[in-house]
Amino acid sequence: MDIAGPMESRRNGKRLFIGLVIVAALGAMVWSSFAPMAGGTTTLGGPVAQVDLAAFTEHVAAKIRAALPEHELKVKGEGALTLVVNEETEAQIFLDNLVAQCGADPEACEGFVDAHVAALVEQVKRAATGEVPPRPEQLRLTLKSDAYLAEVAARLAEVPEKAAENAPVTRAFGGTSSGLKVVLVVDLPESLRMATAGDLEALGMDAEFAFTLARQNLEAVDSIDPAKPEKLGMGTKALAPGGGPELWSLATEDSYGAARALLTARWEAIAAGMPGPLVAAFPHRDLILYTAQTATPGERDGSVEALKILAKGMYQTAPYGLSPELFVWAGKQWLPLSEAGPEGAPQAGAQAEKVD
C-alpha cells in the first residue's frame, strides 16, 4: 500500500488540524494543520487561550476509539497518539495545532474535535483501501517555508525506500534565499494534501506542466477580481486608514491566501496603481500584507518599516508561519527586498523564480 502526501484538512470558514503521520513499510503520509498556534493570535490578532494538553489528549483519544473501535489507539504522550491502521501501517497523530485551535475558540472546541475525528476516520478508510484520488482539476499551489518542508522530509525519511516517491513536489519562490517554496497540492472536499512524484506519475504529467495547470486551477476558482485592486474582497482592508503608513491586507479562509502571490495578473494590476514599487509580506499561509515603497533611496520609508514590523509580529504569533521577510514585485516575479536595488529593481546577480 502506498500512502503519500503531507495533508491538511479544510472546512468552510474554519481550519481543522489533522496532524497525522502514517508510517508504514511501504508508504508514509504527513498531515498538517489549519489552526492558530497556542499562545498566539488569530489571523489579524486576538488572544489564544491555554489548553490542558494531557486531559485534552485523553479526550480526543476517547473520541477516536469510539469512532474506530476496530483499530488499536495508543497514547504516546501529551498531544501524541498512535493508531494501528492495519498490520503494515501505524498512524502517528499529533494534536498540537488542534489544541491551538481550541485555545483560539474554546466554545467551538468540541465541534473542532468532532470534525477532526470525522476527517481522521475518512482518511483512515482511504488508507485502508489504498484509494488515491488526485485528478488534474484538483491540483493547486500553496507556499510553505523551508523549515516546514525540512520537517516533512525528516518524517518521510522514516520510510527511506519510499521517501523520494512520497516527497512533496516543490519549486523555488522569490529566489533561493527567500526561505519559501511553491508546493503542489491536491485539493480535496474536506482537506488538501501535498502532491507527490507518485501522483504526477499516476497523472502522466511532468512537474512543469503540473505547476502551470495548478496555477490556472487556483486562478479559476479565485473570486477576487484582479482588475479591481480597490475591491479585493471582505478580507482585505487598509490597516492604517486616514493617516500614517498605508498598509493593505489580503486575508482569506480557503487555505490559499498567500498562494495568491502566484497570480501574476492580480499583482500586475495592483502594482500599476501604486505610487511606488509594490512591497509585500507573506507572514503566514492565509495572509498577504502589502504597501508601496515611496521614499527615495537612502530615506526612511514609514510604510515599508511599518510593514516589516507587522509582518514580523504576524509571522511569530499567527498560524502557519511562512516568512517575516519583505518581497518586492519585480515584473512577473517576487524578489526579496533585501536583494533588490533602488526602486525595487533586482540587483546584479540576484536570482528569482518566476511564478508564471
- End-to-end CA separation in angstroms for the chain: 35
Distance CA 11, CA 254 (A): 8
Q: How confident is the model at residue 229 (pLDDT cuts 50, 70, 90)?
A: very low
Phi and psi at residue 49, to the nearest 5°: -75, 160
Compute φ and ψ for 48, nearest 5 degrees: -120, 125
Please, which residues have CB within 8 angstroms of residue 220's CB and are 6 or more apart in sequence? none
d(CA 214, CA 161): 28
pLDDT score of 144: 92
Tell me the mean pLDDT in the region 121-128: 73
Regarding beta strands 28-32 and 7-11, do their DSSP bridges make them parallel or antiparallel, or are they unpaired? parallel
Residue 47 and residue 229: Cα distance in Å, rounded? Answer: 31
Q: Give the residues across from 31 on adjacent strands.
A: 7
pLDDT: which is higher, 92 or 328: 328
More confident call, 349 vs 15: 349
Neighbours of 176 (CB within 10 A): 11
pLDDT of residue 11: 38
Q: Mean pLDDT across the stretch 171-181?
A: 87
Residues 212 and 200: beta-carbon distance below 8 Å: no
What pLDDT, on the 0 to 100 scale, is given for residue 62? 94
In one-letter notation, the amino acid at residue 136 is P
Q: What is the mean pLDDT of residues 112-118?
A: 88
What does the pLDDT look like over 135-168, one tens digit per residue? 899 999 999 999 989 888 887 887 788 788 788 9
Residue 22 or residue 80, greater confidence: 80
Q: Which three cell numbers stand for residue 300?
A: 526612511
Calculated CA dihedral for residues 281, 282, 284, 289, nearest 10 degrees = 50
Three cell numbers written together for 168: 512533496
pLDDT over 50 at 29, yes or no: no
The x, y and z cell numbers of residue 310, run together, are 507587522
pLDDT above 90 coverage of the chain, percent: 24
Residue 259 has pLDDT above 90, yes or no: yes
Highest mean pLDDT (candidates 64-78, 215-229, 245-259): 64-78
Name the residue among 36, 12, 48, 32 with its Cα closest to residue 253: 12
Please count the other Cβ atoms lying within 10 Å of the Cβ belonging to residue 296.
10
CB of 178 closer than 8 Å to CB of 325? yes
Lowest-pLDDT choice from 172-176, 260-264, 298-302, 344-348: 344-348
The three cell numbers locating residue 284: 503566514
Position with higher pLDDT, 82 vs 175: 82
What is the C-alpha to C-alpha distance for residues 113 and 116, in angstroms, rounded to an integer? 5
| Mean pLDDT taken over the chain | 74
pLDDT of residue 235: 40
**What's residue 247's pLDDT?**
83
Helices (H), 177-322: 197-203, 207-221, 264-272, 302-317
Mean pLDDT within 75-82: 86
Model pLDDT, residue 35: 29
